[in-house]
């Protein structure tokens, strides 16, 4: 594996009349916990979807673990786990059945699958819910289940697109601990979030995206001191302004 887990070069994505990603260049090191921040519609999800091979870029390239996402998508898929922004679980299956299905798709052996399923349900506080249909879960529980589905195969690189959205503080703290554990295991993590305290506490480095462009890059400490403000939220507002963006 190359030294950088992720190398993004001159990445552009245009949708009809919108430039969603506007010439982004970025490298993420192996083992780094990288936060991708930006207002609604900034282009965060589009970048993640390109890195995961879910959509094609208009131009530019992305290399994940040494593999080009466009030329070697299957190699990339073996390395990554993705928790997409829209929560997707099978409502008629139980939590455990959802996980087993994903484990089978990854061709995991049943012993390993069972051990990881048990461990992840425990960490996500879902052990007592494992045999309930996922359709009956609360929004936060579905979100935690979708994190388990994303990571059941123990990927080296994880893309987590707003994993803590709409969670209560207890769930959010459980997910934070979980993300910290991933980091301690040496995993590379790309995280998007609108919770600035979350990014400030968890991330090694932050990239702020606005209108498809990377407008700031650095550790939370460096961004805060360079902008002469007291926290990351102030950095964010200073750089992206106060105008309200529409949800996309
Ligand atoms: N499939 C699509 N078709 C057309 N426009 C899209 C599509 N996906 C995203 N966009 C547009 O691209 C821009 C970036 O969206 P997105 O990456 O979802 O932003 P973020 O995740 O930062 O909120 C927005 O203007 C959005 O409307
Ligand atoms: Mg998004």
Task: Dig out the tokens for 163 from the structure.
Answer: 């994993």
Burial label, 98 (beta-carbon count in 10 A; 0-12, 13-18, 19+): buried
Which residues have CB less than 5 Å away from ligand 2 (the ion)? 44-45, 85
**What are 165-196's pLDDT values in tens digits?**
988 999 999 999 999 999 999 999 999 999 99
Strand 205-210 relative to strand 33-37: parallel, antiparallel, unpaired?
parallel
Q: Calculate how far, in angstroms, residue 163's C-alpha sits from the geometric centre of ligand 1.
A: 18
Query: Residue 209: beta bridge partners?
Result: 214
Establish whether residue 44 lines the binding site of ligand 1, counting it when its CB lies within 6 angstroms of any ligand atom.
yes
**What are 137-166's pLDDT values in tens digits?**
999 999 999 999 999 999 999 999 999 998
Rounded to an integer, what distance in angstroms lies between the CA atom of residue 94 and that of residue 117? 13
Q: Are 95 and 149 in contact (CB under 8 A)?
A: no
Of ligand 1's listed atoms, the one at least distance from the Cα of 16 is: 4
Q: Which residues contact 173 (CB under 8 A, 6 or more apart)?
A: none
Establish whether residue 183 lines the binding site of ligand 1, counting it when its CB lies within 6 angstroms of any ligand atom.
no
- Domains of the chain and CATH, by start: 33-57+68-240 (3.40.50.300)
Rounded to an integer, what distance in angstroms lies between the CA atom of residue 158 and that of residue 70? 18
Q: Are 185 and 191 in contact (CB under 8 A)?
A: no
Of ligand 1's listed atoms, the one at least distance from the Cα of 21 is: 14
**What are 110-132's pLDDT values in tens digits?**
999 999 999 999 999 999 999 99
Rounded to an integer, what distance in angstroms lies between the CA atom of residue 239 and that of residue 48? 22
Greater pLDDT, 1 or 12: 12
Closest by CA position to 173, among listed 185, 163, 183, 184: 163
Of ligand 1's listed atoms, the one at least distance from the Cα of 212 is: 14
Of ligand 1's listed atoms, the one at least distance from the Cα of 43 is: 17
Whole-model pTM? 0.95
Establish whether residue 38 lines the binding site of ligand 1, counting it when its CB lies within 6 angstroms of any ligand atom.
yes
Rounded to an integer, what distance in angstroms lies between the CA atom of residue 177 and that of residue 144? 12
Q: Calculate how far, in angstroms, residue 15's C-alpha sits from the geometric centre of ligand 2.
A: 15
């Amino acid at each position: 594996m190359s030294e950088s887990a992720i190398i993004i070069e001159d990445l552009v994505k245009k949708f009809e009349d919108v430039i969603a990603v506007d010439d982004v260049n970025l490298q993420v090191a192996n083992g780094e916990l990288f936060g991708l921040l930006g207002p609604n519609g900034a282009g965060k999800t589009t970048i993640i979807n390109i890195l995961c091979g879910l959509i094609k870029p208009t131009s530019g390239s992305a290399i994940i673990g040494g593999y080009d996402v466009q030329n070697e998508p299957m190699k990339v898929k073996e390395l990554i786990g993705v928790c997409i922004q829209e929560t997707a679980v099978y409502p008629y299956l139980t939590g455990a059945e959802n996980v087993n299905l994903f484990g089978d798709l990854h061709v995991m052996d049943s012993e390993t699958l069972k051990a990881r399923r048990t461990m992840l349900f425990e960490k996500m506080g879902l052990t007592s819910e494992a045999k309930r249909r996922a359709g009956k879960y609360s929004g936060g529980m579905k979100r935690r289940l979708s994190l388990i589905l994303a990571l059941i195969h123990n990927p080296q690189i994880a893309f987590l697109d707003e994993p803590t959205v709409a969670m209560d503080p207890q769930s959010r703290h459980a997910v934070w601990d979980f993300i910290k554990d991933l980091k301690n295991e040496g995993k590379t993590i790309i995280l998007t979030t609108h919770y600035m305290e979350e990014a400030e506490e968890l991330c090694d480095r932050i990239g702020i995206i606005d209108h498809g462009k990377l407008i700031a890059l650095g550790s939370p400490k460096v961004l805060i001191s360079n902008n002469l403000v007291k926290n990351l939220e102030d950095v964010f507002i200073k750089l992206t302004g106060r105008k309200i963006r529409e949800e996309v």
